[in-house]
Amino acid sequence: MRCPYCGSLDTQVKDSRPTEDSAAIRRRRVCSDCGGRFTTFERVQLRELFVIKRSGKRAAFDRDKLKRSIDVALRKRSVDPERVERMLNGIVRQLEATSEGDIPSEKLGELVMEGLKGIDDVAYVRFASVYKNFREARDFEELLGGLGRRDDIADAAPSPAEDDPSGKQE
């Protein structure tokens, strides 16, 4: 493994352990030349995946790039990182299991939006606005109209003040 600080190929593994979900191996490494310490992760890859961009260009699938995009959508949202990691692992497993190796970017975007919708509505809207290239407020209105409100039942029940036309509560 190349040292990210000095570029040396002479690095040693000091500690290895599985991640919390056992989906990867976390390795602490040290560079013999500069003494720099860094962490790497080793994951199982069932097959080589490629993303077919809207332009038709074919690019290697990059799990870290996908994670960064999801992290941008989740910025300043209080979402458990473990839930995000499970969602990301699920998306990658789906891609590896259902494709021949070439993934249309539209399919990848839809999988991410589906995952974010289950985790955080705000992150879902953020990601969708970039992915679907929103241009007008109407685009947001259409997307938000499709989101189910979790508090419909609470909104439907009248408050005690609404029951009494005088506004007095007993």
CA distance 167 to 126: 40
31-43 per-position pLDDT tens digit: 999 999 999 988 7
Q: What is the structure's pLDDT at 47?
A: 73
Over range 47-57, report the average pLDDT.
88
88-130 per-position pLDDT tens digit: 988 988 888 876 788 898 899 899 989 998 898 888 888 887 7
Q: What is the structure's pLDDT at 162?
A: 45
CA distance 117 to 92: 17
Over range 46-75, report the average pLDDT.
90
Q: What is the reported pTM?
A: 0.60
Q: What is the structure's pLDDT at 27?
A: 94
3-state secondary structure 8-37: CCCEEEEEEEECCCCCEEEEEEEECCCCCE
Q: Predicted confidence band at 9 (pLDDT cuts at 50, 70, 90)?
A: very high
Q: Which residues contact 163 (CB under 8 A, 6 or more apart)?
A: none
